[in-house]
Chains A and B, each alone.
Chain A
Amino acid sequence: MTLYFTREHEWISVEGDSATVGITDYAQAQLGDIVFVEVPPAGTAVDKGKETAVVESVKAASDVYSPASGTVTEANEALEADPSLVNTAPETDGWFFKLTLSDPSQLDGLLDEAGYKDFVAGL
């Protein structure tokens, strides 16, 4: 399993051609208390870099971009009842959706954990 990060503060955890996507701990801390999450239902085709989910906090509503293209296989339904999972466990239980990657080579330009840490430190 390999973990990648985007400069838009999403993470994507990849195993073969299946992947799980969420937002980073840094992103949830910046957003503040999350009050609503909208994730695409299974079967949705998503494009790399396009708005795919919406996360709303007491401060702002923000788009979440898919780090790679593919088809959604599962949405995290637990977020509907308890959006605070994104605050408490952004990189585990607070995942947004799982997808089957259509082009794993799209992951090449993404950051690894150390690279993302450096990126955030520079913000």
Chain B
Amino acid sequence: MSVNASGWKPEMNAANESAAPATFTGNKALMLEEGLIFEIGAYDRTGVDLPEPPRVASRLGGLERNRPIGLPGLAEPEVVRHYTRLSRQNYGIDLGFFPLGSCTMKHNPRLNEKMARLPGFADIHPLQPVETVQGALGLIDLVGEWLIRLTGMTAVAMSPKAGAHGELCGLLAIRAALTARGDARKVILVPESAHGTNPATAAFCGYAVENIPATTEGRVDLDALKRRLGPDVAGVMITNPNTCGLFERDMIAISEAVHAAGGLVYCDGANFNAIVGRVRPGDLGIDAMHINLHKTFSTPHGGGGPGSGPVVLSEALAPYAPLPFIEKDGDRFRLVEEETAGEHHAGSFGRMVAFHGQMGMFVRAAAYMLSHGADGLRQVAEDAVLNANYILRSLEGVLEAPFAHSGPCMHEALFSDDNLAEGFTTLDIAKGLIDEGFHPMTMYFPLVVHGAMLIEPTETESKAALDQFIGALKSVAERAQAGDAALKAAPMLAPRRRLDETAAARKPVLVYRDPAPLTQAAE
């Protein structure tokens, strides 16, 4: 018998079919079923009428395509309906509360979008002469200035494209600094409460990764860290606030110990939302930290847009920052690239991306910064922490909250599956929440807690929205504690029932296979 920790089996779906009648179409009133585009399209249909291509001499030496490519064709209204129908089965921040811990799924203000669409920002090209894009360069410089001031650091690299890319930038700078002093250290220490991308980044940079345990409070074990420090340790990567939703109170002591041992301190700033305007990481002895503009500064993400992960650097690492750089020269801005880097940034470790970074995200972040102001950003952190503590204290009597005794949480509240009925797990809670109309919380992460449920409400949810979520989660948790068998079959009401994740992982189907190939149109 296959052991399945969730206790769920595919046949449980059938055993709990709802009483609603089956329809001829498969549609459920206004929730419309939709096939794959390969199923509804046809090879001999098209939505556009293109002229015959001119006859040209081929230089492909017989490698020309001699069959239709096999893409499905649809009329324009069919395409519009296809994607509109699919979008109705999706869940996004514009539909409802998105409590995914560690992801900061906050509202994306519409003002940001309006600014990002201004033609002076939206319609420019990265290879345009810099004299014609002074405003855009000025905006990148402005966002960089704000990031430097908010973090109390020396320099900023704007080009990294997302959080983990920022981690890579920070570690490359650390490696460049160590190499410059002829110190080939090989180990990066990563605490248990750090983001999962941290050890991956360190390994990608060629470092051996070693784990530092957490205390029973959910924070870095400072003594264990100190014991491990030595001449082979290049640095530590610490997430602060950490993935238990807690502020690392010993951060200054950690930085001092690492520096004393000759290492450098990387901070994963993905959770900066909880401390922006309240704490300057530079004051904590941090040498490099990425900032997820797509989290703290409200630019869309999670399918809604690309990330952006600028990295702020301490005085020790600033000389090694990647190119390109924007420099202010009087009232003009110029780009420091390879040709001119020798004069200004001879120590730069190189270039991470082709151009300057995510321009659209810089504009959105600038709009967010300027519309909130310094006092508004401070309130962002305060309200995010207040909301998370409201969730923690409202639910700590319902679900097991392993670190509730450690004091107030920061931006997210962490629960475990320790007090559910035998055979019920975090997965059942997540699926039950889908029936209640919520995107589930982050689950099974961080690993320091059994069956972790990590909930990050962000500052943009109202008390009414939080109360509704708390009520729903309480109801689902009580069903799991009472051993309600129907919960094992959840979601009952979603467009798709519970999916067989094990089969999907063990026998993945990665390409579309036409069950009954359509006859391809003859050329």
Interface residues of A (CB under 8 A from B): 28-33, 35-36, 57-60, 83-84, 87-88
Contacts and interface: CB of A to CB of B under 8 A. Distances in A.
Contacts of A88: 1-3
B3 A58 contact: no
A45 to B, nearest CB: 16
B473 to A, nearest CB: 20
A33 B4 contact: yes
B227 to A, nearest CB: 16
Contact of A60 (B447, B501, B506): B447
A116 to B, nearest CB: 19
Contact of A31 (B1, B2, B5): B5
A88 to B, nearest CB: 6
Contacts of A57: 5
Contacts of B333: none
A32 B4 contact: yes
A60 B442 CA distance: 13
Nearest to A33: B502
A84 B6 contact: no
A5 B184 CA distance: 37
Contact of B444 (A28, A60, A83, A84): A60
B505 interface: yes
Contacts of A35: 502, 505-506
The 9 A-B residue pairs whose C-beta atoms are closest, nearest first, are A32-B5, A35-B505, A33-B502, A59-B444, A87-B3, A58-B501, A35-B506, A33-B4, A58-B502
B453 to A, nearest CB: 13
Chain B CB within 10 Å, residue with most, of A29, A33, A36: A33
A25 to B, nearest CB: 9
Contacts of A87: 2-3
Interface string B1-40: 1111110000000000000000000000000000000000
A30 B3 CA distance: 10
A62 to B, nearest CB: 8
Interface residues of B, number: 13
Given A58-B501, A58-B505, A33 B444 contact: no
30 contacts: A28-B3, A29-B5, A30-B5, A31-B5, A32-B4, A32-B5, A32-B6, A33-B2, A33-B3, A33-B4, A33-B5, A33-B502, A33-B506, A35-B505, A36-B505, A57-B5, A58-B6, A58-B501, A58-B505, A59-B5, A59-B444, A60-B444, A60-B445, A83-B506, A84-B2, A84-B506, A87-B2, A88-B1, A88-B2, A88-B3
Contacts of B506: 33, 35, 83-84
Most-contacted residue by chain B among A32, A57, A88 (CB, 10 A): A32
A88 B3 CA distance: 7
A32 B506 CA distance: 13
Nearest to B211: A63
Contacts of A30: 5
Nearest to A51: B209
Contacts of B445: 60
Contacts of A59: 5, 444
Contacts of A28: 3
B89 to A, nearest CB: 23
A108 to B, nearest CB: 23
Nearest to B209: A51
